[in-house]
Amino acid sequence: MPIRLNRIEGKIRRIKGLIEKDNYCDQVLNQISAAEAGLNDVSNVLLRGRIEDFVVDRDQ
């Protein structure tokens, strides 16, 4: 999980840099999309883990 979060953090820093350098909107939007996808992945991993914990607890 920390590796995923570090990647997302890097994307956020890139977004900030692109905005500060007044880059083209499409470059900024591409990085935002990549960061969103990364956050969705983290969310799915967390949710999957909670569901698995629930199922195991329920079976016991």
Confidence at residue 38, expressed as pLDDT on a 0 to 100 scale: 97
Q: Which domain holds residue 36?
A: 2-59
Which CATH number belongs to the domain containing residue 38 in this structure? 1.20.58.1000
In the numeric block, which tokens belong to residue 24?
């083209």
Question: Does the CA dihedral 10-15-19-21 come out positive or negative?
Answer: positive
| Domains: count for the chain | 1
| pLDDT string in tens for the chain (60-residue length) | 899 999 999 999 999 999 999 989 999 999 999 999 999 999 999 999 988 888 876 666
Confidence at residue 59, expressed as pLDDT on a 0 to 100 scale: 65
User: pTM for this structure?
Assistant: 0.80
